[in-house]
Chains A and B, each alone.
Chain A
């Protein structure tokens, strides 16, 4: 059967170009926001100096890489930019991208608009893991001063235990859906059940914790991008980039599943396998972010929907669109969290919902962009 006598429709190409422009615009916005985010804080740095410090820093580091032993000269500005604000800003972007891309994939895989790392219990599982680590394994305590109020003696152990519980939650969801067949309803409901189970577990542990442990657990659950170092950022970035490429490679499969399981099967998509593998990858990337940064709700659920309102449901544009939206929202939230009640710095998780909810409600009311 041959239908090759068609033309390439100009109106459609124009439509595709507009989608690409939206994504490109988002990336530009993200970059501008990055500069602004580094510029503002306890010490304000002019944006031009930020740019200069970034460019010089990169050149110097590349140079030092090529010629080992070459010294990197650092000014005070460079110290603030490279040691404090840049890792935090990048962590916000990477975490926003990762949570959002995991959310968009889960929403498609589970055919449910409420799919996200938070609704599926992965975040609560991580929080429970942290509570177990702090309270039962004794990895946290609290000082009396305001700055650095809480120390996690052994942050790595806390991270690892949180990560293990995130994976455990995912394993249970997959196991249940294996027994009952990979139906999206079963996965979503199992996730909701686990989420309640883990938050009940956390409450139980907190009830018997002493006040320093309690503070450490609560502190951990406030998702905060400021607690990351370059090495952790590196791990998180690798995982998020790999997952994003994986989801992009599956965009046609997700589009097919969005059209209905039967349509997808008719198009040659192994729906059960795509669903299971996608869940594992989405859970993995969420688990890494939650374990390093704590619970940041809302981003994974809402950023994909924000992107949908602007760019539509086609995964070819929705996946990159969600990445950009997630990065922008979390970076903007973190910037605000750092300056809004200065000199206090709020954890970003407090601001994401404050920022995101009104924007999201506005988008809901306005409906889709024509």
Chain B
């Protein structure tokens, strides 16, 4: 178990957004947080690296209580890819190098440069190294953001809708790369997702949120027509196509 969340509650202007969230994640696992817009998926993700401070509850990261760590300590353990990243006039290499921020003192070392270089190679982005990110496509920028989180050398990777701006090719490429890296380095990834089929394809475990609470939590078995109708209010069928589970809304 690399991450455990106990009784997490989050208030926004005294309104309860998340209520007694409980779940655990093992190393080498990919978890999809699912649920309708505005249910608190992103909020939950931000509570996991203390971008937001939960009102109550404990987030335990590899045996350490997150509330006892400072932001920089957390950033050495948790990488975060937000939905939106800003671009400026700097090269992809420098943009990714920024991910070493939690590890560097006054200046970067050769070690930092080597790590960045390796991640560029790993994500097949070598050709982009000296491209300026303000001239890049949405897919390339997303890759830069993911690379930036990877050079943090995190134990847990948090991704907020990692494929929302991407075309089909980039979606497949990025998600399968994340799966490979999570398995290979036995880290964990938590992603918020809208596309249930994508979640079924790439995630190992699923957390359905409804009204700020965990509706259900488990492996593929919990992704049932009943659960989906309950959470999204949409009637669906779950069918198997060539061994792949597919969620099909009933018109």
B-contact bits for A10-33, CB 8 A (1 contact / 0 none): 011001000000000000000000
User: How far apart sit A259 and B86, CA to CA, in the bound complex (Å)?
Assistant: 5
B-contact bits for A245-287, CB 8 A (1 contact / 0 none): 0000100110110111011011111100000000000000000
CB-based contact B122/A3 at 8 Å? yes
Distance in Å from the Cβ of B151 to the closest Cβ of chain A? 7
CB-based contact B117/A8 at 8 Å? yes
Q: A1 on the interface (CB 8 Å rule)?
A: yes
User: How far apart sit A267 and B82, CA to CA, in the bound complex (Å)?
Assistant: 11
| Residues of B close to A260: CB separation below 8 A | 82, 84-86
Query: Which one of B71, B82, B110, B153 contacts A263 once the chains associate, using CB atoms below 8 Å?
Result: B82
Q: A9 on the interface (CB 8 Å rule)?
A: yes
Distance in Å from the Cβ of B98 to the closest Cβ of chain A? 5
| Residues of B close to A312: CB separation below 8 A | 89-91, 132
| Residues of B close to A316: CB separation below 8 A | 94
Interface class of chain A by DSSP: loop
CB-based contact B130/A15 at 8 Å? yes
Q: B213 on the interface (CB 8 Å rule)?
A: no
CB-based contact B101/A268 at 8 Å? yes
Q: A7 on the interface (CB 8 Å rule)?
A: yes
CB-based contact A3/B151 at 8 Å? yes
Given contacts A5-B114, A6-B115, A6-B117, contact A266 B130 (CB under 8 A): no
CB-based contact A1/B89 at 8 Å? no
Among residues of A, the one whose C-beta sits closest to the C-beta of B119 is: A3
Interface residues of B in 101-123 (CB under 8 A from A): 101-102, 104, 106, 110-111, 113-122
Total cross-chain contacts (CB, 8 A): 133
Looking at B17-25, B73-81, B204-212, B226-234, the stretch in contact with chain A turns out to be B73-81
Q: A2 on the interface (CB 8 Å rule)?
A: yes
Distance in Å from the Cβ of A312 to the closest Cβ of chain B? 4
CB-based contact B82/A11 at 8 Å? no
Q: Which of B85, B86, B118, B154 has the largest count of A CB atoms less than 10 A from its CB?
A: B86
User: How far apart sit A11 and B128, CA to CA, in the bound complex (Å)?
Assistant: 12
Q: B51 on the interface (CB 8 Å rule)?
A: yes
CB-based contact B90/A314 at 8 Å? yes
| Residues of B close to A85: CB separation below 8 A | none
User: How far apart sit A265 and B72, CA to CA, in the bound complex (Å)?
Assistant: 9
User: How far apart sit A224 and B123, CA to CA, in the bound complex (Å)?
Assistant: 55
Q: B145 on the interface (CB 8 Å rule)?
A: yes
Distance in Å from the Cβ of A368 to the closest Cβ of chain B? 6
Q: Which of B79, B114, B187 has the largest count of A CB atoms less than 10 A from its CB?
A: B114
Query: Which one of A3, A7, A12, A258 contacts B150 once the chains associate, using CB atoms below 8 Å?
Result: A3
CB-based contact A2/B51 at 8 Å? no
Among residues of A, the one whose C-beta sits closest to the C-beta of B118 is: A6
CB-based contact B113/A266 at 8 Å? no
Q: B88 on the interface (CB 8 Å rule)?
A: yes
Q: A313 on the interface (CB 8 Å rule)?
A: yes
Q: B99 on the interface (CB 8 Å rule)?
A: yes
Interface residues of A in 186-236 (CB under 8 A from B): none
User: How far apart sit A88 and B19, CA to CA, in the bound complex (Å)?
Assistant: 65
| Residues of A close to B130: CB separation below 8 A | 11-12, 15
Q: A4 on the interface (CB 8 Å rule)?
A: yes
The 5 closest A-B pairs by CB, nearest first: A268-B75, A266-B80, A6-B118, A6-B117, A268-B72
A residues sitting closer than 8 Å to B (CB atoms) are: 1-9, 11-12, 15, 111, 249, 252-253, 255-256, 258-260, 262-263, 265-270, 308, 312-314, 316, 368
In the assembled complex, 23 residue pairs joining A and B whose CB atoms fall closer than 8 Å, in A order, are: A3-B114, A4-B114, A6-B121, A9-B113, A252-B98, A252-B101, A253-B101, A255-B101, A259-B85, A259-B86, A259-B98, A260-B85, A265-B51, A265-B71, A266-B78, A266-B80, A266-B82, A266-B149, A267-B152, A268-B74, A312-B91, A314-B90, A314-B91
B residues sitting closer than 8 Å to A (CB atoms) are: 46, 49, 51, 70-76, 78-82, 84-86, 88-91, 93-95, 98-99, 101-102, 104, 106, 110-111, 113-122, 129-130, 132, 145, 148-155, 158, 185, 187
- Given A5-B118, A266-B75, 12 additional A-B pairs, CB 8 A: A8-B117, A12-B113, A12-B129, A15-B93, A258-B88, A259-B86, A259-B98, A263-B85, A267-B98, A268-B72, A268-B75, A312-B132
